[in-house]
Amino acid sequence: MVLNVCLIGAGRAGQFHAISINNTPNLRLTHIVDLNLEKAKQLVETIDNGDSGPPMAHDNLERVLEADLRCGLVNSEINFVIVASSTQTHYDMTMLAFRYNKHVLCEKPLGNVDQIKECYQIAESKKLHLMVGFQKRFDKNYLNFIKSLDMYDMGSLNQLTFITRDFPVPSIEYLKTSNGIINDMLSHDIDLTNVAMKGEKPISVFAFGHTNNSELKEANEIEHVNVLMNYASGTIVTLVGSRTSTHYDQRAEAYTDLLYTKMDNLKVDTTFSTENGVIMESPIENTFLQRYKDAYQNELKYFMDIIKGKVENPITCKDMLLNAEICNAINVSLKTGEKVTL
Ligand SMILES: NC(=O)c1ccc[n+]([C@@H]2O[C@H](COP(=O)([O-])OP(=O)(O)OC[C@H]3O[C@@H](n4cnc5c(N)ncnc54)[C@H](O)[C@@H]3O)[C@@H](O)[C@H]2O)c1
């Protein structure tokens, strides 16, 4: 069964979703919507729909969904919508898609606590599926890392660390609407922390942030941040994040009583070494487009399976609310310089 999808946003995220759609069997991109019609048209040029023809470029989602509803009385075209437009549009776009009975795969973040609750309530009442794009959940290396913590009886989880450094630096225009480094970037690692901690809420969080880069300072953006989270079960979680970096840095490590496990940056190629040491080191997957290419596609395939009723949605309303609560607490700590109790 072929599913038809409408993609909203033709920026960086729109591009990786378009690549995933293009590479996914039984999925057809029918519409690309961007406020900037030229960007939508440019992205259309990259899509190969074979005999069924290219997607249509639009600048207004509501008009697309209305037209779909009109022809939908006979044969509805769009099965689901991917929201990959700017962060501040996610809640409105999701609600609009729900009004027209479309399932939604939405880029993070979905919205504030009230908006998250409302979106999931509406999805449930209309029997629609909603999944937020935490693609690290569908990345085989992060999955193996988290699985390793449960694999054997290795004692208690003492320390868990996630490191995320962005590369290249996102544009200032993007940063101005991104909701800040915690909600925009660290929310992925907070999500993984919550999976590893099986939904346990931290007792308290404490964060330091600093900005050296003058452009980021002017944009009021935190450049470097370290977060400590303390758990009743005895685990200490450290999140390290930077907007600037010498390279795209995506790592994790954990230490239990009997196990040390780490996930490194992914190499593009083979590393050669002799007894005298490394003689050729491979470059790493150096942008999010390279590093998460497979994860974005897995995420999309998983969402299609959710729609087809084959699997359960792994990213629940409860997950999103805990994530938002932790992000809020970290932001308060950054503002006040105090430890924040949850
Ligand atoms: N999961 C990830 O790895 C990942 C990576 C990058 C971005 N993102 C998320 O994706 C979203 C987009 O990020 P980006 O980097 O593509 O930003 P971007 O600025 O490159 O693109 C955003 C696009 O949305 C369009 N847009 C804005 N308002 C719109 C509206 N009302 N209707 C239609 N289009 C509209 C803009 O014209 C622009 O083309 C952000 O929320 C970001 O958090 C996720």
Cα distances (Å, whole numbers) of residue 187 to 9, 230, 275, 307, 329: 21, 17, 41, 25, 12
The verdict on the CB of residue 134 being under 6 Å from ligand 1 is no
Residue ranges in the chain whose pLDDT is less than 70: 72-76, 152
Q: What is the pLDDT of residue 152?
A: 64
Query: For a substitution probing ligand 1, which of 20, 85, 106, 323 has the most ligand atoms within 8 Å of its CB?
Result: 85
pTM of the full structure: 0.94
Determine whether 220 is exposed, middle or buried from the number of CB atoms within 10 Å of its CB (0-12, 13-18, 19+): exposed
Q: What is the pLDDT of residue 19?
A: 95
Q: Is residue 168 reached through a cis peptide bond, with omega within 30 degrees of 0 on the bond before it?
A: yes
Report the separation in Å between the CA atom of 107 and the middle of ligand 1, taken as the mean of its atom positions: 8
Q: What is the pLDDT of residue 159?
A: 96
- Give the Cα-Cα-Cα angle 262, 165, 16 (nearest 5 degrees): 100
Cα distances (Å, whole numbers) of residue 27 to 13, 78, 283: 18, 11, 33
Contacts of 246 (CB under 8 A, 6+ apart): 167
Cα distances (Å, whole numbers) of residue 72 to 68, 244, 274, 328: 5, 47, 64, 41
Cα–Cα distance, 184 to 333 (Å, whole number): 17
